[in-house]
Each structure stands twice: as C-alpha cells, then as structure tokens.
Chains A and B, each alone.
Chain A
Amino acid sequence: MLAASLLARSKQRNHKEASLRIATAALTLNTSDSIRDAGAILLAKLSNHRSVELAQQRAQIAPDLEGRLGVSMRIEAQRRTFEDSILLNASGKWLAVNNFQRDLWESASSEVTWLSASAPTASGKTFLVLHWVLDYIRTTNTRVAIYLAPTRALVSEIEENLKELCADIDGIEIVSLPLQTAYISAISKHKKTVFVFTQERIHLLANLLEDQLFADLLLVDEAHKIGDHQRGVILQDAVERLCRTNPNIKTVFVSPSTQNPGELLQDAPAGAFTASIDSDMPTVLQNVILVEQAPRKPKDWNLDLKSANSTLNLGVLKLANKPAGLRKRLAFIAAAAGGRGGTLVYCNGAAEAEDVAHLISQLGVGVPPDDQELRDLADLARKGVHRNYQLAPLVEKGVAFHYGNMPSLIRTEVERLFRSGKIKFLACTSTLIEGVNLSCRTIVVRGPRKGKGHPMEPHDFWNLAGRAGRWGNEFQGNILCIDPYDEKAWPGGVPARSRYPIKRETDYVLESLDDLAAYLDRRSSDTSEQIEGGEFFEQVGAYLLNTYMRFGSLTKAMFAQRHSAEALLRLDSSLAPIAESVKIPLSILERHPGVSPIGLQRLLNAFHSYEGNIENLLLAPSESVDAYDRFVTVMRRINQSIYPVFLPDGLIPLHALVVIEWLKGLSLAEIIKRRIEYHQKNGRSFKLPVLIRDTMNIVEETARFRAPKYVSAYLDVLKMYLKERGRLDLIDDEFDIGVALEFGVSSKTLFSLIELGMSRMAAVALYEKIARDDFDREGCLNWLKEYGPNFAGMDLPNLIIKEALGVAGLHNDGSDETTE
C-alpha cells in the first residue's frame, strides 16, 4: 500500500496503473476493513472518485469512510474533493471530476482559442465535454455552437445526451438537422443553438446559407478521424470553412488515446492561443487474457493474464460443446466466459456478427426474464426491417448484433439495452470502433480485422480493448484474446498497448508526392474507366485544387508549414494547367468538398456539347413517373463525367430504384419487401439475410452518402449551365436534393417530423397515418395532439408510439390501458 501511494504521485502511466491495480485488489479481494479503507483513499488520490463511489455502492467499504480518518487525513481528503470538483457557472452546481477532466475544463474555459485534448476511452471525456459546452454557452455570448461528431450514429447519441442535459434549461436549442430557420433564430438572439453535425451536414448547412455560417464555438469529437480515408479531408475542409467565416472561432478537438493531440493545433490561425491536454491515465483496469486450447482437449481452454513481460495462469475455461470452426470458437468462449452479461464479441463483418449472435443465443446463457423492452425492440426489428430479420428472435433471448448500416433507431436501442444489461451479449463489427460510445465488461476477440480484411493496427485494437471496463460500473474489464499464438489470427501477436497517431488524410496523401502529381497530370485526360488510383487521390486532389485556386499557390495554404516548399511547388506546377482549364467559379466548387473540379468541369463541357432537349438534363422529383429513369441517366452521366461512383454500371438501375424509394419516404421494411417481391416475381433465388444487409448497405452508402454528394454537385453545375442559357425557370429550388437524400424525405410533413426530433423510421411509420403532406412543425404537433390518444388502435410499434408521444410532450398516460 505504501508503494502504491508513492506510485500514485508519479506522472507515468505504468506507475499509475500499478497503483490502480493495487488499490483495486485492496478493495475487491478478501482483505481486512482497514486495507479496504486504504484502497479507497488510494483511489481518491488517483482522483478516481467514481470508483470510490462504486465501492461504497457495493458495500466493499463500510459507510462513513471520512469518520474513520484521522484529522490530517480528513483535511487532505477534503482538499482533494475540493480540488477534484468544478463549478458549473451557469447553475452553481459542483461536478466531481478526475485530473484529466479538470484540466480539460479549465483550459477550455480559459482564453485558449484552439484546444486539443486526448485521453483513454473510459475517462469521462464526452460526459465532461457535454457539460462544458452547455455551461460555456450559457455563460458567454456564444450564439451558435457546432458539435462535430464524425458518424451519424454518434450524432444521434450526442444529440440525445445534450437534449437530456438541457431538459430544464430554457433558451438552448439542440439541432441535428441543417436548418436555415434554426440558424437564423440563433443569430437573431432568439435561442442559442448547438448544432450536432457530421462533417457532411456542416457543408449542407453552409451551402444552404450561401457560406454565411458564422459559428462561435466548434467542438470536434473523435478528432483523430481527420485521418479517415475519404471522409477525413471532408472533416478538415469543414473546420477550415468555419474558420474562414469566423477566424476567431473557439475550437476544441477531443480524441481517444492519441499520441499527438497537439498535431491538430498546427492549423490554428495566426494569433490563436493554443493548448493541448494529453492524459494517459487509466481509470479502470484492463486485463488482457490469452485464451488457448489445452492440448488434446478441445473443450478446455487455458486462461493466462498477460502483463508486460510475463503471463500468469488464471485457470481453465470449460466449454459445454466442442467448438468446431472459428465462429463456434468465438461464440462458445464468449458464452462460457461472459455469462454475467456486458459481453462484447468482436466479429469480422456483419454476416459473422449475425452468425455468432445466433450461436450464442442457442446456449441458453443470455436468457433474461420475459421483458417488455426486449419485446418492443424485437417488434421494431420485425416491423421496421422484415418479419424474419434475425435480430428479433435473438433480442428476445438477450443476445444481439450490431453493425454500421442498421437503421439508427434499432442500433441505438440495441446499444441502450446492452448498456442497461438487458442484452447480455452483443456481437459487433468495426462500426463500434468508428465512433460509438459503448463500453462493456468483457470483450472477446479472435484475429480482429478492420473493414474488409486488413489486420487491425495496434492503436485500433486498443481503441476496441479500451472499452473493456465501465468506469463507475466495474473496477476492471477483461479482453479475451483467442488463439493468441496463431499467426493467421494475430499476424504480429496480440498487440501491446498503443495510442492512435493523428495524421490528416491530406498529409498522408501528400506524402505520396510523385504518384499524386502523376495522378493530377493524368486526371484531366483520362476517361472515367481509366482513372487509376482514384480511390486514394481523388478526394484530396479535389481539396488541393480548391486550395490552389483560392491562394494561387499551395505554399500559401495553412498546411504549407508541414511540407517542403519544393514538394508544394511541384504540385503547383501540376495544378496550374488544371486550374486554368476549370471555368467553374470557386464559390461553386467549395460547396462540394471531395468532388473533383476536373470532373465538374468535364460535366459542364458535356452540357455544352449536349444537342438534345435541354430539359433532358434535369432530374425529376421523386413522385414523378419518370423519376426512376431520370435518376438512372443522371447516375450514368455522373459516372462518365465526374467520377465513377455508382459501380458496377449494371447495378445502376437497382441503386436508382432504392434512391427513389428512399426519397419517396418509403420505410426500409417496404424497400426490402419490394425487392423480395421482385426476386420472387422473376423467379430469382436470394438469401434473406444477405438481401436485407445489401439493401441497408445501398440505403446508407448510395442513397445517403454518394448520391447526395454527387447528385447535388451535378445539379449545381446544371444550374450554372441553365443560367448561361437563360433557362433558370427550369430549376425547382424547393427541392434541395442534398438534404432530401441525407434524410430520405421529399415531403414537408416528413421533414417536419424529423425536425421535431423523431427518427426517420418513426417519422415514416407515422407519415403513413397522416393525410397532409405540407405540415410544418406546428401542424405536426397539432396532429400528434389530436391523434396521439388513438395510437393504440393504429398498429404502430410501441417504440415508435413512445417516440412520437415523447416528441409531442405527451406521455403514455391514460391513453394506454395496459399501464392501468
């Protein structure tokens, strides 16, 4: 205990970790009362008050610890409590925090304008940042704050958390839709607003506002995703775009366990005060346990705790059945080791996740008492996706799976029930490390891959492993690594602890200077079939070209300081002739980050040489009879002129069809049903789980990502051309295709429902019951108030009714006889 209390004062991670391990052992092992008290004091010294609270809740220390301390210890304890608290200026309440949280709060509240903070997963980053944002807005002149969350899943999570936190605060609006009205109301001093956006949505709103999006505060969560392939550059562009409108914008980056949070500060405008906070302090113990089969006994698996230089045998895990095949191995070991629940099983891909979850569900380990919330989720999966969607029967057994393209209402409900413990086993994919805040008790993993086939980098593995151990709910978390010495599963062995290196996608691509320059040189002359290396260079190439056109040379850009002048001049010489040939003004190019100006110019040229009826260049509204055909043609034109995005060509009709159905506001269930009917009518065989996943994939990847990005660029160039030809009368400005596609709506009523805070799934189900297509928010609220009492008779899933009534401020009181 003496050693531990000395180590607690160290700044080094391994010292602090050793101290935490001793404190945890003192509290959880069979020790005397005085040792337990000492363990609790040690935790407090580590500013780990949440774990002390946990020990109190679990009666691992006797009540009134302070009463048992001597005078000097008591004074010291009080000083610590005081030091480890922050004052919420707006409400006068105190918040207990750890060292990292305190540092972050103090820096963010100081005159620092650019701040980058990093800490391990279970450090309470998000919790603190959410409180800070609200406190900061309430106590300063901030009118518009933007919370950038790089995935839609995270956007809905953050939006929900913020709404909960300001439930009883007046004058703050939380908005996740790119609404001009919300922005105007914020700057006209009506209500202060926090926009929670993905990077794409920031661009959508900036486009709607003709680039007049003036934000006072920008918070970038999961900021290391600035290095993401293809979307990293869009994130960087969004930050730069906001800084161009307001060079004094206060900017806070937050990232999990990164090596170099300071890297992000290099782009700060001249004169900005910058600070970086880098914490590596563990809050819960994370035990890496190696799981290896005992020789000749396929049902017996040895467990060894791995530490820096040695392993410690913990015992043998006995499986009930022989684990033939890798999926069974994963499932059976998870079932045997994670029976207490909170068990996350990492799978390589959605199909594997479905399979593993199905295997676990047969072992009778997840079965909870018959539960209404689980039944509601199963009901939602059946009605919202398909009656045979495998998630439904699994959920009823306390097991679930989770992957990226699932409808967000279902996915967030899966996460919520996993957190609350009703779902005991969750088979997940790399979506989970792509920005979902979900921690667990145990992680089971074998040969983890990220995306399709690439072995996980150590920092990705540790981003995953870092989720084991829920701070404040457990003292430690376990990471079970199966077959640790199998070279196929773990090419470099089980990775040692590692932190994520932040590296911008742009910097990464700029390093391949020769190939990039060659790509740029070729890009103008190549036909769409020949654009080689496009995957890697296209987005950043577009960014560089825009930058060049803005400044006249890359050497004047903010990133110039990170690259040699020679390299930049070399790129300048490739960019100059391209910039010369592009006649589309920068103001239009800037609206479409990641879309190549060369491609857009080529499209404009194609319009100029088009000899047919000019109306044939237009898109038709989704309700129009020729909408589908127009989309097929426009997608082909995009492939030919801008960039080959909708591939293969033979699948364009399918993609166009799903896009139209999505725009029409069809539910996912209906889109799936129609595809099944199509297959049946034409006698084509299909596998239901594959068809369901494939349809979800088209909706997310094509309808909500590629189509809005490229179709809105197509329309902007077309608009420019029509203006030249004096035919602006042909453009229908009501139809902002980017917004319509992102949200899958084309009627005002549907959009208003989503504006009110409903998920699309719920909005679509409800819209089927609403006759009018032109309701604004007020109209929808009135409808909800009028018809809400009759929802029970409308055959709507319970979760949707709950959401609708919640939005309308009505609750299931009285109208729901079952609660009586």
Chain B
Amino acid sequence: MPAKPVNIGSIVFPKKGDATAFFQSMLYKYELGDKVSDEDANVLSALVSNHPEAAAKIGVGIASFSVRTADFGTRCFWVNRSDGSTEKFSFRACY
C-alpha cells in the first residue's frame, strides 16, 4: 500500500516521515524561548488546526508561536494565545 500523503495548509508531504522531519528541523532551528518567524507561524497555524484537540489548543485565538521546553528537557511548539495564556502541543498529534 502506498504511503498516505499529509496535507498541512498548502504544503503536501508525500508521507508522514517527511512531515515529521520538516517540523523536527523547524523546531531545532530556533533557540529556546524564541518566537517563530511569520512564515513558520503560518504553517504552524494550519498544523495546529489539525490537532485532535484543536479548539482547546487554540482557545480565544492565536497571537504567535514559540519554541520552549516541555517536560524532561525536551522542546516543543507552544501556542501563545491573544489573551496571554499559552499551551504546548505535539506536532506529531496533528497528522
């Protein structure tokens, strides 16, 4: 069975592994605490809307995205909401 392509916004990844590699490299391109660039933020907006708990993650609305630490020293994307609250999400859960 051929691999199932993954659609994130306007980007199409031939298979899951490609999407994972793409977001992994985006995650490590930044330093801890950085806000991601506008371009990457657009991709992440599309990504988080695919999250199974998208409504809870997005809440009142997205102001920006950051790269910060999660538990046990790992790093992760965070949604910064327009009311100042913030929530982490796993990109792997979005496809």
Contacts and interface: CB of A to CB of B under 8 A. Distances in A.
Interface of A: 612-613, 615-616, 620, 625-626, 628-633, 636, 653, 682
B69 A629 contact: yes
B73 A653 contact: yes
Contacts of A629: 32-33, 66-69
Q: How large is the interface on B (under 10, 10 to 19, 20 to 34, 35 or more residues)?
A: 10 to 19
Contact of A616 (B35, B69, B72): B35
Contact of A632 (B32, B37, B86): B32
A300 B86 CA distance: 70
Contacts of B73: 653
A616 B34 contact: yes
A-B CB proximity, top 7 nearest: A629-B33, A630-B33, A629-B32, A633-B31, A616-B34, A629-B68, A632-B32
Interface string B31-47: 11111010000000000
Contacts of B35: 613, 615-616
14 contacts: A612-B30, A612-B34, A612-B37, A616-B31, A625-B68, A626-B33, A628-B69, A629-B32, A629-B66, A629-B67, A630-B32, A630-B33, A632-B69, A653-B69
A620 B66 CA distance: 13
Contacts of B30: 612, 616
A616 B38 CA distance: 13
A369 to B, nearest CB: 51
A613 B37 contact: yes
Contacts, number: 41
Given A628-B33, A629-B33, A631-B33, 6 more contacts: A612-B34, A616-B30, A616-B34, A626-B86, A633-B32, A633-B34
In terms of DSSP, what is the predominant structure of the interface of chain A?
helix
Contacts of B33: 616, 620, 626, 628-633
Nearest to B68: A629
Nearest to B69: A629
A626 B31 contact: no
B31 A682 contact: no
A615 B86 CA distance: 18
Interface in B17-34: 30-34
A630 B37 CA distance: 16
A810 B91 CA distance: 59
A633 to B, nearest CB: 4
Contact of B72 (A628, A631, A682): A682
B17 to A, nearest CB: 27
Contacts of B66: 626, 629
Most buried by A among B31, B33, B66, B86: B33
A668 B19 CA distance: 45
A620 B34 CA distance: 11
A613 B29 CA distance: 13
A613 B34 contact: yes
A615 B69 CA distance: 18
A636 B31 contact: yes
